[in-house]
Chain A
Amino acid sequence: MRLLNVKQRPQPPRIACCRVDFSRPWRVETCPTQATHVSNFGVSLLYKVVRLISLFTVLMNVHFGSTAQGLTPTHPTLAAQSSINSADTAWVLTSTALVLLMTLPGIALFYGGMIRRKNVINTLASVVAIAALVTLLWFAVGYSLAFTPGNLWLGGTDRLWFAGLDYLKDSGQVAVSHIAPNLPESVFAMFQLSFAIITAALIVGAVVERMLFSALLWFIGLWSVLVYAPIAHWVWEPGGWLAQMGVLDFAGGSVVHINAGVTGLVCAYVLGPRKGYGLEPFQPFNLGLTMVGAGLLWVGWFGFNAGSALAADGRAGLAMAVTQIAAAAGAFFWMLGEWVVRGRPSLLGLCSGLVAGLVAITPAAGFVTPRSALLIGAVAGLACYWGTTGLKRLLNADDSLDVFGVHGIGGIVGSLLTGVLANKSISGMPSSLTAQLTGVAIVVIYSGLMSALLMWLTRVWTGLRVDDASEQTGLDISLHREQLGT
């Protein structure tokens, strides 16, 4: 480009001497000789302002009106209350309650019945405390980090402290999530909260009888924000990188079960074994309680799986059916395996088998046929029996209540079989064993490494284990000064 000399260059309007009143750009009092330039400037400015207003209007229209116009929202938004599906909302509300029942008192009783008498109260208290802690953290940061669009790795901050989860009676609008625009966002957030709670509560089973109560709360608090929320974002938020890779996880095979299982195993390794482990029998307090807990888990899992359809529709019905079939198959085949190996079945085996079947069907519940569910449950029953016996001896970790053996192994089995058995005519999307393998590996690695780091941090901050005398006395007395009745 040939540079023009000074004389040839077009001269810009000289308005530097004028005081431009930007509130009235079309008028400049002090420089009448420059009126033309100022008026041009004013028009230009006005044009820019109008453009900005128009752009703002378009953006607001997209933000608030896209649902009404039938456009698919890509982030949480306000929608007309008439756009909410009442049946879907009622079902997800019910499912939320069912999943919360799985924790309180399902998991509490399931674990409390298996532990030694002197530690039952501590186990129950741990589950209750974790439910409260995770609720508060979810409200504060967890939901926003997990389920708002942000980037591939983590959600944004739009919903910190549940900001924007609005119900506006006067304007007839209610906040909805882009993931479930048929539901009020408060219902969606609560449903996801129930998952966050139970995932954290599962970990208790690996650390019971020796972990400090304060250490457990610190660890779970950090874990729910730094491990659970990111993994949930990766798998369940449409912008998450594992979701974009095509990893299928209908209700939490990897997010909940593999995550909790691996975390439990790592915690068991870091804590070390209980005193007397492998030398003396650790008599369960009351397997009747375990059975009651298992029953609550079985029934509650209908909310866990069928509720994950986020609608009261055919997919939810299918998820319910395959959940039942897988639970029954898991119980039956675990019982068979135990009968062959040990010579007799057991109540604990039946309860463990049904949970194994439920865990394995979790990632596949909305994608597979009932026959596939039978296979998944059967494989899980046998695999998890091995996971809690032979594999447990190989791993040589005192995973007290076999969190990894049931939830970790069951989640891995279910996630991989989802890649094999998912039916595109049901799911509407292709499945890939490679993608499932990748998802499993990523969750295992991230969960394992972060759990180890957080356990180290917790050890530095508060310590991890009770002293030997407290462990011998029992955590009920030593940590809580409470005792079961005589």
Chain B
Amino acid sequence: MSSSEKIALAARMHVLLRRKTGRVTDTEWMASNAEYAAEIVRFSHDYAATENHPDLAELADKLSCLMLPPPQSRPTYKKPDLIPVSQGLIRYVKGLR
């Protein structure tokens, strides 16, 4: 997604957090810094769970997908040269055997 879309989503999160929790957030920093975005997501999820705000949780999920990297999938083979490939081919790099 483009940076304008990130800023738009961060702005929506800023408004919702201000309305629901009273917190003031930095919209531009939320759209550019992954650590700050991660903390906003964590706080939002906690508050949504305790205060029952599903719309806040949903928006936090969207922000998480946009700003945070996906979790690393663990390789299924022990050899370090077997690199996982999207098609499922995980052998034959730097050697056949």
The answer to whether the Cβ of B78 comes within 8 Å of any Cβ in the partner chain is yes
**B77 lies within 8 A of A343 (CB):** yes
Stretch at the interface among A89-97, A182-190, A274-282, A441-449: A274-282
Task: Determine, out of B4-12, B27-35, B52-60, B85-93, the stretch whose residues face the partner at the interface.
Answer: B85-93
CB distance from B82 to the nearest CB of A (A): 9
With a cutoff of 8 Å between Cβ atoms, the chain B residues found around residue A281 in the complex are 83, 85, 89-93
Chain A residue at minimal CB-CB distance from B95: A392
B94 touching A114, Cβ below 8 Å: no
State the B residues within 8 Å of A (CB).
77-79, 81, 83, 85, 89-97
The dominant DSSP class at the B interface is: loop
Cβ contact within 8 Å between A402 and B78: no
A173 on the interface (CB 8 Å rule)? no
Chain B residue at minimum C-beta to C-beta distance from A273: B94
Contact A283 B92 (CB under 8 A): yes
State the CA gap A348–B78 with chains docked (Å): 18
Question: What are the residues of chain B within 8 A of A401 when measuring CB–CB?
Answer: 96
Chain A residues with CB under 8 Å of B90's CB are 281
- Most chain B CB inside 10 Å of its own CB: which residue of A114, A282, A405: A282
Residue among B90, B91, B93, B96 having the largest count of chain A Cβ atoms under 10 Å: B96
Checking B78, B91, B93 against A343 with a beta-carbon cut-off of 8 angstroms, the contacting residue is B78
Contacts of A279 in B (CB 8 A): 93
- Chain A residues within 8 Å of B, Cβ to Cβ: 114, 277-284, 338, 341-343, 348-349, 352, 385, 388-389, 392-393, 401-402, 405
A to B CB contacts below 8 Å, 16 in the list: A114-B96, A277-B94, A278-B93, A278-B94, A281-B90, A282-B93, A284-B96, A338-B97, A341-B79, A342-B77, A342-B78, A348-B96, A388-B95, A388-B96, A392-B95, A402-B96
Bound Cα distance from A349 to B95, whole angstroms:
12
Most buried by B among A278, A279, A281, A402: A281
Chain B contacts for A385, CB-based, 8 A? 97
In the bound complex, CA of A402 to CA of B97 (Å):
9
Residues A280 and B97 in contact, CB atoms below 8 Å apart: no
Q: Which residue of the partner chain B has the closest CB to A281?
A: B92
B97 adjacent to A388 (CB under 8 Å): yes
Q: In the assembly, what is the distance between CA of A385 and CA of B96, in Å?
A: 11
Residue of A nearest to B89 (CB): A281
Q: With A342-B78, A342-B79 in contact, is A389–B93 under 8 Å at CB?
A: no
Q: How far is A343 from B90 in the complex, measured between Cα atoms in Å?
A: 14
- Not counting A281-B91, A338-B97, A388-B97, a sample of 4 additional A-B residue pairs whose C-beta atoms are within 8 angstroms of each other reads A280-B93, A281-B83, A282-B93, A342-B78
Q: Sorted from nearest, which 3 A-B pairs have the closest CB atoms?
A: A281-B92, A278-B94, A388-B97
* Bound-complex Cα distance A163 to B35 (A): 85
A317 to B18, CA, bound (A): 91
Cα A13 to Cα B97 with chains together (Å) = 89
Give the complex CA separation of A343 and B97 in angstroms.
13
Chain B hits for A114, CB < 8 A: 96
Return chain A residues, CB-CB under 8 Å to B81: 278
A402 to B92 Cα, complex, angstroms: 13
Shortest distance from the beta carbon of B77 to any chain A beta carbon, whole Å: 7
